[in-house]
Amino acid sequence: MSSPKLLAKWDLDHYWHAFTQMAEYESLIIDSAQGVWLYDVHGNRYLDGISSMWCTLHGHRHPVIDEAIRNQISKVSHATSLGVATPPAIELARRLAELAPGDLNHIFFGSDGSSAVEAALKIAFQYWQQCEQPRPTKTRYVALDGAYHGDTLGSASVGGIGKYTAIFEPLLFEVHRLHAPDSRLLPEGSGAEYFLQQLESLLEQHHQEIAALVIEPRIQAAAGMVFQPLGYLRGVRELTRKYNVLMIADEIVTGCGRTGNMFACESEGVVPDLLCLGKNLTGGYLPLSAAIASSEIYKAFLGDQNSGRAFLHGHTFGGNPLSAAAALASLDVLASTEVQSRLRAQCDQLEEILNELSAMQNVAEVRQLGMVGAVDLAPADSHGQCFPPELRFGHQVCREALKREVWMRPLGNTLVIMPPLCITKDELEFLGRVVLESIEAATQSIGPAALQPK
């Protein structure tokens, strides 16, 4: 194997990293991992505080998933999904149909979250062109400010984070945009209906041209872990049904048990028309995603070869048998008594950690849903004001955490705490202590005067 020094040079010279300003990139090369721990090429270890960008659901090198991949690799590693199937992909499709709420029975596999959302958008569009009562004018979408649904052109079009999409605006299609249903922005004494009234006004006026609404259920993740008020998701489902608009639930972050339910939709008894999965589906092992459609939508695509009704869309590695085997094993682990029996205790411990952090001087708010935690950093007594952006305070906190053996990546000045579900009580306690110490250290290193709000 090449030396750490040579790897670092090649990393800087040739490896173009995602969402990274390469002019400022500092090489961190992970050589191995086990459980919640990452090990770099120098032998240093770091607790994986955000599950390697929210996807290593059960941690690294889980024996059940490792074994499933080894068994499958001895049979077949790849077969196309174009007119061909493999046992793992078939079994996974059946398992997801059993787990998904309502009549979400038909699974279209892709490679990643972006491809799942892209497929769902196209499915919704095509559905209205050829359903029993076609509505060819339904060609537009409703999406939320702060939404993130991926980086392909369709998924980016329904995204709502300007720094990711602004430069590509000429390439994107227009959508109807709603304010983010952020619980922190509710007027005193109001609830979900405050945001639902805005949605109903839009649908009442434009429903004839709207194919679908796209939403991240309960939490808008990349927006800074924006939590929606209780009842909002259910209200969205009721309004989309009332105005004959499809609902696409992007559960790429929230699906597969992260929020305490198998799917975040289930917490409000919601059955969308299309549900997208990615990230956690294989436990973070291999690329795989799914767009799950209702029977009503699926039947609109059936006909003979000359009907033109087929969904002419696909991905080379969609339904890959290695990925499917990993996903089946990950779902087995998630359903195990071992994981389910400790999940409640983990959620309670995370709540205690967040409560302790909430008392800190430069913490404005903490939020939690299941094993998803968020910590908003803001100046003490700021009354909604923020740190000067050039300070990159969230980034400074994460740099301090790295010195203390925890790897995290902030969303601006919001810290995400989302460790693998295999984390032990002692490891979770360590993670909480490091976050606290890192906020204190970053505050001291920058200096109180520099941290005055702007």
Residue 352 phi, psi dihedral angles, 5° rounding: -65, -40
In this structure, what token pair is assigned to residue 270? 């919601």
pLDDT of residue 123: 98
401 and 373 in a common domain: yes
Q: Tens digit of pLDDT for each residue in 333-364?
A: 999 999 999 999 999 999 999 999 999 989 99
User: Contact at 8 Å (CB) between 405 and 38?
Assistant: no
Q: Tens digit of pLDDT for each residue in 406-422?
A: 999 999 999 999 999 99
300 and 157 in a common domain: yes
55 and 76 in a common domain: no
The residue written with tokens 């919640």 in the block is 36
Q: Is the pLDDT of residue 382 over 80?
A: no
Question: What is the helix (H) or strand (E) element at residue 78, kind and residue range?
Answer: none
pLDDT of residue 451: 61
Q: Tell which of 283, 305, 334 closes a domain.
A: 334
Task: For CA atoms 148, 113, 370, 432, give the dihedral sign.
Answer: negative
349 and 330 in a common domain: no
Q: Tens digit of pLDDT for each residue in 250-275?
A: 999 999 999 999 999 999 999 999 99
Sequence-separated (6 or more) residues with CB below 8 Å from residue 423: 35, 36, 59, 346, 431
pLDDT of residue 387: 83
Task: Report the number of distinct structural domains present in the chain.
Answer: 2
Question: What is the helix (H) or strand (E) element at residue 367, kind and residue range?
Answer: strand 363-369
Q: Helix, strand, or coil here: 213?
A: strand
Average pLDDT estimate for 303-329: 96
Domain that holds residue 421: 4-61+342-451
Residue 49 phi, psi dihedral angles, 5° rounding: -75, -15
372 and 327 in a common domain: no
| CA dist list (Å): 430 to 57, 289, 404, 419 | 19, 32, 10, 12
| CA dist list (Å): 400 to 36, 225, 298, 359, 444 | 19, 22, 50, 20, 11
User: Contact at 8 Å (CB) between 157 and 176?
Assistant: no
Task: Place 385 in a pLDDT band, splitting at 50, 70 and 90.
Answer: confident
Average pLDDT estimate for 207-236: 97
Q: Tell which of 294, 315, 334 closes a domain.
A: 334
163 and 112 in a common domain: yes
Mean pLDDT of the chain: 95
pLDDT of residue 398: 97
Average pLDDT estimate for 237-250: 98
Q: Tell which of 334, 367, 387 closes a domain.
A: 334
348 and 283 in a common domain: no
Q: Is the pLDDT of residue 320 over 80?
A: yes
Q: Which residues are annotated as a binding site?
A: 113-114, 148, 250, 279, 314-316, 409
Q: Which residues are annotated as a binding site for pyridoxal 5'-phosphate?
A: 113-114, 250, 315-316
Neighbours of 107 (CB within 10 A): 22
316 and 270 in a common domain: yes
44 and 93 in a common domain: no
Distance of CA 101 to the CA centre of its chain: 19
Rounded Cα–Cα distance for residues 229 and 236 (Å): 12
Q: Tens digit of pLDDT for each residue in 414-453?
A: 999 999 999 999 999 999 999 999 999 999 988 765 666 5
DSSP bridge pairs for 231: none
284 and 398 in a common domain: no
Q: Is the pLDDT of residue 403 over 70?
A: yes
pLDDT of residue 77: 97
Residue, of 387 and 61, whose pLDDT is higher: 61
367 and 242 in a common domain: no
Average pLDDT estimate for 381-404: 87
Task: Place 388 in a pLDDT band, splitting at 50, 70 and 90.
Answer: confident
Q: What is the CATH number of the domain that holds 398?
A: 3.90.1150.10
Average pLDDT estimate for 386-404: 92
The residue written with tokens 């060819």 in the block is 136
Q: Which residues are annotated as a binding site for substrate?
A: 148, 279, 314, 409
82 and 44 in a common domain: no
Q: What is the CATH number of the domain that holds 278?
A: 3.40.640.10
